[in-house]
Structure 1
Amino acid sequence: MIIVLGIGGLAPWGFGPKRGARASRGNGGNVMVRLSRARAAAALATGVVAVSGVLVGASVAANASGGGWHGSSEPKPVVELDGPRGVAVDQAGRIVVGEADGTISLVIDRGREPKVHELGQVPAGFIAPAVAVSRAGRVFALTTAGEPGTGAATLYQVRPGRSPKVIADIGAYQQDDPDPFDLEDNPTETNPFGLAALTDGSVLVADAAGNDLLRVYPNGHIVTVARLANRVVEVPEELPDEVDGEPLPPAGARIPSEGVATSVTVGSDGYWYVGELRGFPATPGTSQIWRIKPGSVDAVCDPERPNRGDCRRFADGLTSVVDLASGKHGTIYAVQLVNQSWLQWELGLVDPPVGGLIKVRPGGSRSEIAPGSFILPGGVDVGLHGKLYVAAPVFGPGALLRLG
């Protein structure tokens, strides 16, 4: 499974526990792609990043059109955070966020001075945990890939004033649930990345390295809901001919690429939606959003047969999707980590790494909200009165941003 930023066969986004990130070339070979956290920090330190809001300097002009967004088009910083990613809004409109050191906090965005209350902390990973809040008010946190025994690849319930409770070891489950679509010779690799709570107390987990969607019950029992099949894509022209002396496939070559399930949300229609990052060569415009029938088990999300079975394609044409949120009337909001693809950023071809917030409507039509405003965004959710909350950037000093 491919991962960048720690997502799959590539060491978690290049910042995972592996010493290097490995990208499948689709022909049985591999190319090493290395990116240190220091380089990520350097990328974020460019003059176009504002410390308070992580906004691109020219964003105000870029936001003039609003990209289909009908509220305030310019993101406003709510609170400053360190490497924020997970974002979840509870029934009362309070926002739960996860930071790079594993801290889970509750943000109350009311009045002139937002209040922040620390709820607890889970083991830190290469990137901040994903978070979710159930209707009953239970807060869940999901750690990403890491070494066994460190608390990585684990689902927790966060309990204020008490230690977090382990609900399930996702890594252990994946050892007995190999990925049939693996292209990396590591079918039991795991990197739990996306999280959504269900009304019955269970939660959905998108495993980027496992290329699948899991359902975890309160007692820790896990079932595989759906698997993402590979897609044949064209190698983009922007990639170099070689990396570290290893040749890359030529531009235009058609090769298989893993889906990389990074994100999950429950739609207003009750269906479960899963977003893809897209593995090597991370061709722009090849990330999909899948719509899965609730209660499904072992469904297959197949780009060759996108309109059959319990998993069907909701949208196509996106790039490097890392989070999803549900809006009204079947709308889905998707966060793109880097609009030109995560791989082009990892190879140093994109500076600054501008991501995007995309509004996707039933039928697949889409528009970008506040274009040019987000550097390496990692999370999104919808608050009261249609407000949108976005966490960015996922590395270094960042903020929780509000639109609307």
Structure 2
Amino acid sequence: MLRWVLPVEGHPRLGRRSSRGIRMGVRTRIAAVAALALTGSLLVAAQADAGHSHSSLKPVATGLNGPRGVSTYGNKVIYSVTDGSVYVTDGHRTLKLGTVPGTAGFPPAIDTNKWGTTYALTGAGGEPGQPPVPGATTLYRMRYGKAPVKIADIGAYQKKDPDPYDLEQNPTDSNPFGVAALSDGTVLVSDAAGNDLLRVWPNGHIKTVAKLKPRVVKVPTGLPATDPDGNPLPPAGTPIPAEAVATSVTVGSDGYWYVGELRGFPATPGTSQIWRIKPGSVGAVCDPAKPYKGKCQRYADGYTSIVDLAGGPRGTLAVVELDKASWLQFELSGPTKGGLFLQYPGKSHKAGYKRELVKDQLTLPGGAGFNRAGQLFVSAPVFGPGAVYRVKY
């Protein structure tokens, strides 16, 4: 399960509660990232990729505080920032759509349906083990000129829908993290703490679409010998179970629902999967031990710390990695280079080859979205001063 936590003095940090009891705060790390972003040394906008992909970034909205969610409607781009505010821009004029409560220093996930209605999803916020702040773990509907409307309390639903595969002795925990608006007016929500995918109706009714099982991974190299409390950590190469941490959801051009994983401790690089779920499913199981059976099947593997997905044209997916070295390496003051990949479809409903866009130009990216013309947009960094960019590829 995953929580983005807020320490004292209002500074964001990344925290993690895992099956091995590790939780590392990185307030000074975030401060350093923010300082570098201010000087422009981390984000290189509108500069050609040095690699073979010939992709580049063009700023659409700048001067933002912690941009994250990205969606589109017509020629407009919608995005969210740290204080819970959601904005709409056409690249020239920007309007504020509204502000949702309960963000606790981390911007909400957003998506916009075909009618132009935007949904904002707040996560758990607060310290692990403590009650969520008012307005947290909630799905809101937003319309210009009107106050946000609460649709559903995801956290309350999860109290009655425990994670049967929980590794952390808290099976009813909830941290809604990803959102996708469907064409029938319902909304998909991926819960990073509940390790599941939910479907929410306009009246607040919720059903569980699928539950994601843990995966046995090998402990990577580069971890400290002990956790912050002095408890020994398993040595590199040790196989241990790690929770999926369902951070992202999107609808592909084939109509199927795709869910991306962050991967819980030890956050082994290359172990984040993307699952393909049959539309309309209820009670499906995404099982790494049986990845090609049932209504939820593995679509792609080999990613690291996925935080967002976006469905693109001709079966493509945009895949956003918070940190290509893993979220845990970021917490350990490691690299901060995120990844943006274009995943192409392959045969037999499985992923084909993938292409990295704007290689090493994004620091801690938060979200991505395609418009109907196939143009791709991305936000970064999710902590501190940042921007929303159009990705030319």
Give the TM-score normalised by the residue count of structure 1: 0.88
Residues 148 and 343 (structure 1), Cα distance of their counterparts in 2 relative to 1, 3 Å cut: closer
Q: 1:88 Cα shift? A: 0.5
**Worse overlay, 318-327 or 154-163:** 154-163
Matched, 1:5 2:4: yes
Partner-residue secondary structure (3-state), 1:78: strand
Aligned residue among 90, 98, 104 for 1:125: 104
CA distance in 2: counterparts of 1:383 and 1:254, whole angstroms? 41
Aligned residue among 382, 386, 389 for 2:370: 382
Instruction: Judge conservation of contact 1:82–1:99 (CA < 8 Å) in 2.
Output: yes
* Matched letter for residue 191 of structure 2: D
Aligned residue among 146, 153, 156 for 1:169: 153
Partner-residue secondary structure (3-state), 1:33: coil
Paired residues for 1:57-136 under 5 Å: 60=47, 63-67=49-53, 73-80=55-62, 81-90=64-73, 92-109=74-91, 114-123=92-101, 124-136=103-115
Aligned residue among 135, 147, 161 for 1:151: 135
Partner-residue secondary structure (3-state), 1:361: strand
CA offsets 1:56-78 (integer angstroms, 9 cap, x no match): 59x957x13343x6xxx221211
Aligned counterpart, 1:24: 19
Q: 1:329 Cα shift? A: 1.5
CA distance in 1: counterparts of 2:271 and 2:132, whole angstroms? 33
* Matched letter for residue 371 of structure 2: G
Matched, 1:239 2:223: yes
CA distance in 2: counterparts of 1:31 and 1:65, whole angstroms? 37
Instruction: Judge conservation of contact 2:3–2:175 (CA < 8 Å) in 1.
Output: no
Partner-residue secondary structure (3-state), 1:224: strand
Aligned counterpart, 2:213: 229
Instruction: Judge conservation of contact 2:87–2:94 (CA < 8 Å) in 1.
Output: yes
Residues 53 and 269 (structure 1), Cα distance of their counterparts in 2 relative to 1, 3 Å cut: farther
CA distance in 1: counterparts of 2:33 and 2:379, whole angstroms? 17
Aligned counterpart, 2:169: 185
Instruction: Judge conservation of contact 2:124–2:132 (CA < 8 Å) in 1.
Output: no
Q: 1:24 Cα shift? A: 2.1
CA distance in 1: counterparts of 2:52 and 2:66, whole angstroms? 26
Point out where structure 2 has 5 or more consecutive residues left out of the alignment: 7-11, 126-130
Give the TM-score normalised by the residue count of structure 2: 0.91
Residues 183 and 311 (structure 1), Cα distance of their counterparts in 2 relative to 1, 3 Å cut: same
Aligned counterpart, 2:324: 339
Aligned residue among 249, 269, 279 for 2:234: 249
Point out where structure 1 has 5 or more consecutive residues left out of the alignment: 8-13
Seq. identity, %: 54
Q: 1:125 Cα shift? A: 2.4
Aligned residue among 298, 307, 327 for 2:312: 327
* CA RMSD, Structure 1 to Structure 2 (Å): 2.0
Q: 1:181 Cα shift? A: 1.3
* Count of matched residue positions in the alignment of Structure 1 and Structure 2: 374
Partner-residue secondary structure (3-state), 1:303: coil
Residues 313 and 150 (structure 1), Cα distance of their counterparts in 2 relative to 1, 3 Å cut: same
Q: 1:342 Cα shift? A: 0.2
CA distance in 2: counterparts of 1:186 and 1:343, whole angstroms? 21
* Matched letter for residue 31 of structure 2: A
Instruction: Judge conservation of contact 1:54–1:399 (CA < 8 Å) in 2.
Output: no
Q: 1:366 Cα shift? A: 1.0
CA distance in 1: counterparts of 2:44 and 2:133, whole angstroms? 40
Instruction: Judge conservation of contact 1:273–1:291 (CA < 8 Å) in 2.
Output: yes
* Matched letter for residue 335 of structure 1: V
Aligned residue among 185, 203, 225 for 2:187: 203
**Worse overlay, 296-305 or 138-147:** 138-147
Aligned counterpart, 2:30: 40
Q: 1:5 Cα shift? A: 3.3
Partner-residue secondary structure (3-state), 1:39: helix
CA distance in 2: counterparts of 1:217 and 1:275, whole angstroms? 22
Aligned counterpart, 1:275: 260
